[in-house]
Amino acid sequence: MPLPKIAGIKLCETYREQYGANFISVMPTNLYGKNDNYHSENSHVLPALIRRFHEAKQQNLKEVVIWGSGNPKRELYLPTIWQQPVCFYME
């Protein structure tokens, strides 16, 4: 997990413990959508997969090479799924 995310979580925990503040950290991760980054070398997981399959289809390839071991498990979300829960937590 990147340092700014960890720092945000720890800051909320510390304020909650030290001052009794009602702070929480909500981080909707692995979001994807129409304005996502589909760059071939620096995109996230799902946009990279979409791009590879799209290019394979355009080139009539019979297989698509996907990097990695296949061990990590990820949950992927459309941003619209997170709108209501994030607004709820902000209230």
Per-residue pLDDT 10s for the chain (91 aa) are 678 888 988 999 999 999 999 888 887 777 888 888 888 788 888 888 889 999 999 999 999 988 888 888 888 888 888 888 888 887 7
Q: Model-level pTM greater than 0.75?
A: no
- What sign has the CA pseudo-torsion 67, 71, 47, 54? positive
Whether the Cβ atoms of residue 44 and residue 32 lie closer than 8 Å to each other: yes
The pair of structure tokens assigned to 68 is 């990695």
Distance of alpha carbon 6 from alpha carbon 78, whole angstroms = 23
Distance of alpha carbon 54 from alpha carbon 48, whole angstroms = 10
Distance of alpha carbon 37 from alpha carbon 48, whole angstroms = 8
For the chain, what is the radius of gyration of the CA atoms? Answer: 18
